[in-house]
Amino acid sequence: GAVVSQHPSRVICKSGTSVKIECRSLDFQATTMFWYRQFPKQSLMLMATSNEGSKATYEQGVEKDKFLINHASLTLSTLTVTSAHPEDSSFYICSARTGQGSNQPQHFGDGTRLSIL
């Protein structure tokens, strides 16, 4: 149980393109989803937290107009990297939490490798 699917797994596109990444909880309802960014050989950095039906909460230093997050349903959150540039190339990982409360574990997706040429 508690499977999180992330799509696509890999994206290669030209500079200036907008890219949408989907994160789905397949067998549970996720009231809260998280988006992380991971640079090579580094740890995960939380970008934003999204709660279903409300605006996402962004971490300091993360541009909300650059990284648009939508959490329209209890099973789907999307991250759109707008007008992507080479410096946006990274590994993006989503996670979802079942139920309310921080004592619930986060379940991670497989990640999306974004490469901007």
Partner 1 sequence: AQTVTQSQPEMSVQEAETVTLSCTYDTSESNYYLFWYKQPPSRQMILVIRQEAYKQQNATENRFSVNFQKAAKSFSLKISDSQLGDTAMYFCAFMKHGDNDMRFGAGTRLTVKP
Task: Pick between residue 59 and residue 63 the one whose CB is nearest to partner 1.
Answer: 59
Task: Pick between residue 29 and residue 83 the one whose CB is nearest to partner 1.
Answer: 29
Which residue's structure tokens are 């190339």?
Answer: 89
Q: Do 77 and 69 contact (CB within 8 A), yes or no? A: yes
Where do contacts with partner 1 occur on this chain (CB under 8 A)? 32, 34, 41-46, 49, 57, 59, 91, 93, 95, 101-103, 105-111
Task: Pick between residue 16 and residue 99 the one whose CB is nearest to partner 1.
Answer: 99
What are the DSSP calls for 6-57, one per residue? EE-SEEEE-TT--EEEEEEESSS-EEEEEEEEE-TTS-EEEEEEEETTSPPE
Find the shortest distance in angstroms from Cβ 80 to partner 1.
21
